[in-house]
Amino acid sequence: LMQLFIPLNFFGFMHREIKQGLVDLEAMFELMRQPAEVIDKTDAAPLAVSGGAVRFDNVSFHYDADRPILKGVSFEVPAGKTVAIVGPSGAGKSTISRLLFRFYDVTDGSITIDGQDLRDVQQQSLRHNIGMVPQDTVLFNDTLLYNIGYGRPDAEQSEIVEAARLAQVSDFIASLPAGFQTEVGERGLKLSGGEKQRVAIARTILKAPPILVLDEATSALDSHTEQEIQTALDEVSQNRTTVVIAHRLSTVIGADEIIVLEAGKIRERGRHADLLEQGGLYASMWDRQREASEAQERLRQAMQGD
Ligand code: ATP
C-alpha cells in the first residue's frame, strides 16, 4: 500500500506545483494587462503647493472600458481640511486614492491640487507632496529606526524618536529589548496590524507632506488600540489636507465632510450628524458598525473577565 501511496502523494505534489505555476503565469498576464505607465508631459512642471486644496471635478474612471468604476464624482477638500470617503466594498474608494496619486489618469473630468491638473505636473513632485498611509504597510527587513526614518532620510535620530512619540508607538518600542534597533519585517519581529499602521504614521509624520491619504484598515481593533491610532491620525492630519478612506466611526465623526460612495457615484454627503439624521445609507452603515463594535467590546471584556 505504501508503494501506491508515495506515487499518489507525489502526483499531489506535482499537481500543486503545476497549479502554482499556472497561478504565477496568470499573475504575469495580469501585470502585462496593466495600462501603460502614466508618463510626464514634456513640459510638466513641478507641483507648486500653496495650501494643498484637492478637487475632483466630474471624475469618471474605468480600469476596463466595459466596466465603469467612478461615474461623475465631484468633491473638494479645502486646504487643511479632512474629507472621509465611506461606502460598501467595491464602491471605488481606493480607486479615488490611486487616482490622486496618479497611478492612473482619469477617463473623464479632472483632478487638481491648488488648481494644477495632475496630468500637467511632474509625478515625482506629486508623490513627494502626498503622504500615503496604506491599509497594510509593508515594512523593510531592517530596524524600526530605519523603517520610520525612511520617511525623511536626512532626519536626525531625535526627530525619529519624536515622530514615534506623536504616532503613539513609543511605549511599544520601549517595551522591546532592542528598542529602535529591533529588526522587523519578514525576517524580524512580526508586528500587529495596529503596530504597523502606527509605524507608517510615524514615517508620514516625519515626511510631513502637505497632503495626506489614509486608507484605514478594515480589521476590527480593540477600543484601546483604536483610540491610540485615532490619536496618531489626529496628530498627522492636523492642518493637512486629508483624504481618508474611513472604516471607523471615530474617524468619520471628526471629518469636515463625509462622502458616501456607492457603485461609483456619490449617494450622500455631509457631516456625521446630518447624515445620521437623514436616515439613509450612511445611517444604516454606522448602525451596523456600532452594533458590531459594541458586541466585539462585550466579548473582549467577557474574555478578560472584567
Ligand atoms: P473595498 O472597501 O473593498 O476596499 P473599494 O471601494 O476601495 O473597496 P476599489 O478598490 O476602488 O473599491 O475597487 C472598485 C472596483 O474596481 C472593484 O470592483 C474592483 O474589482 C475594481 N478594480 C480595482 N482595481 C482594479 C484593477 N487594477 N483592474 C480592474 N479592476 C479593478
> What's the 92 CA to ligand 1 centre distance in angstroms?
6
The predicted pLDDT at position 16 comes to: 54
Tens digits of per-residue pLDDT, 134-156? 888 889 999 999 999 988 989 99
Cβ neighbours of 145 (radius 10 Å): 17
Residue whose cell numbers read 479615488: 96
- Tell me which residues have their CB closer than 6 angstroms to ligand 1: 63-64, 69, 87, 89-95
Query: In angstroms, rounded to a whole number, what is the distance separating the alpha carbons of residues 164 and 167?
Result: 5
The complex's ipTM works out to 0.96
CA angle 246, 250, 256 (to 5 degrees): 70
Residue 3 clears pLDDT 90, i.e. is over it: no
- For residue 114, give the C-alpha cell: 491648488
Give helix 193-207 / helix 157-166 axis angle, nearest 10°: 130
Largest CA distance in the chain: 77
- For residue 240, give the C-alpha cell: 493637512
Q: Which residues pair with 54 in a beta bridge?
A: 77, 113
Who contacts 19 (Cβ-Cβ below 8 Å, separation ≥6)? none
Residue whose cell numbers read 530605519: 146
Given ligand 1 and candidates 62, 67, 95, which is best to mutate, with the most ligand atoms within 8 Å of its CB?
A: 95
Q: Which amino acid makes up residue 48?
A: A
pLDDT band at 187 (very low <50, low <70, confident <90, very high): confident
Measured by CA distance, the residue closest to atom 30 of ligand 1 is 63
